[in-house]
Amino acid sequence: MTNCGPGGSGTESCCTSLEVAGGTYYRTYTSDADGGATSLADPATVSSFRLDKYDVTVGRFRQFVSEWNAGWVPQAGSGKHTHLNGSLGLVNVDDDAGLVYEPGWLPSDDANIAPTNANLQCSIDPRAPAWIPSPGNAETLPINCVNWYEAYAFCIWDGGFLPSEAEWEYAAAGGSQQREYPWGSTDPGNGTEYANYMGGPITPVGSATLGAGLWGQLDLVGNVWQWNVDWAAALSDPCVNCAQITPSSGRVYRGGDYYILFPSALRVSPSGGFNGNEYPPSNRDWVIGFRCARTP
């Protein structure tokens, strides 16, 4: 739990969480040749929060699996952004009257938590091994093959919550700086100093040391994608401490993975004015992991 950093042999707590100062930014934008932001649209305001520096590691997730095996499940209604809207949490983007807020954990979702050895070894790609039944040399790799429910449940168990898509993108964009990439406008090239992409393999969290965002988070793009709390939908504006609460075809995941071959796919703002990629929340994939957010 204390060896995160370059090469999986750092000296920092894997649980490090860094504050993101709130503000307003545009969720849709393009970056010009100089790295400046143009075509600004879909503004969003985000209150201050904390976002974990690292993706959740195999070692951290192993502790959660032990608790689940012992019978732990989230309490009903837990996992909300209780520091917002008088403890009601995020407001629905389509609800201007402020009548619909994030529900938190639903007891009906208990059965969707199933972090068994078989489920966590969903990878058929030899470049993406992560989970092994017993602790070994993979403990600082980002956990993958987790569905949305397990990511949400872990964050609740760990005292936090999944970030909204607006929060995740705000941190990755450097807020009002509207960065092309989390680290700025520098092309990441063909190496892995800024982000782990170009065909992998998956690397220990924090290995791409030049890729830190404005507030210090690493691996916001590359290595594995990250689940967000939102359901997928077209963006609507304005947005103030909101998320897509109304169920749709899938949950959002953002960030990019080790398999991406083009730098343009690592840019922060998605194209077309829509959320990032989506999957049904029960899906598992060897290129999707997550990180948690927390109250400021």
pLDDT of residue 276: 61
3-state secondary structure of 5: coil
- Burial of 139-164, coded b for 16+ CB within 10 Å and e otherwise, reads bbbbbbbbbbbbbbbbbbbbebbbbb
The CATH number linked to 254 is 3.90.1580.10
Kindly report the backbone phi and psi dihedral angles of residue 6, in degrees, each rounded to the nearest multiple of 5, phi listed first.
-55, 130
pLDDT of residue 128: 87
- Tens of each residue's pLDDT in the chain, 296 residues: 889 987 667 899 999 999 999 999 999 898 887 778 898 989 999 999 999 999 999 999 999 999 999 999 999 999 999 999 999 999 998 776 788 999 999 999 999 999 999 999 998 888 887 899 999 999 999 999 999 999 999 999 999 999 999 999 999 999 999 999 999 999 999 999 999 999 989 999 999 999 999 999 999 999 999 999 999 988 777 889 999 999 999 999 999 999 998 888 899 987 533 346 899 999 999 999 999 999 99
Radius of gyration of the chain (CA): 18
Strand (E) or helix (H) holding 48: none
pLDDT of residue 275: 42
pLDDT of residue 271: 53
- Listed in sequence order, the residues at least 6 apart from 134 whose beta carbon sits closer than 8 Å to its beta carbon are none
Q: How many other C-beta atoms can be found within 10 angstroms of the C-beta atom of residue 47?
A: 17
Residue 1 lies in a domain: no
User: Which amino acid is present at 228?
Assistant: N
Residue 217 lies in a domain: yes
Kindly report the backbone phi and psi dihedral angles of residue 252, in degrees, each rounded to the nearest multiple of 5, phi listed first.
-80, 140
Residue 296 lies in a domain: no
- The domain total for the chain is 1
User: Which residue bears the tokens 């972090």?
Assistant: 115
Pair 156, 82: CB distance under 8 Å: no
Pair 19, 56: CB distance under 8 Å: no
β-bridge partners, 26 = 43
pLDDT of residue 121: 95
DSSP characters over 230-244: EEP-B--S-EESEE-
Whole-model pTM: value is 0.96
Domain range enclosing 140: 6-291
pLDDT of residue 208: 96
Residue 149 lies in a domain: yes
d(CA 194, CA 181): 9
Residue 151 has what DSSP assignment? H
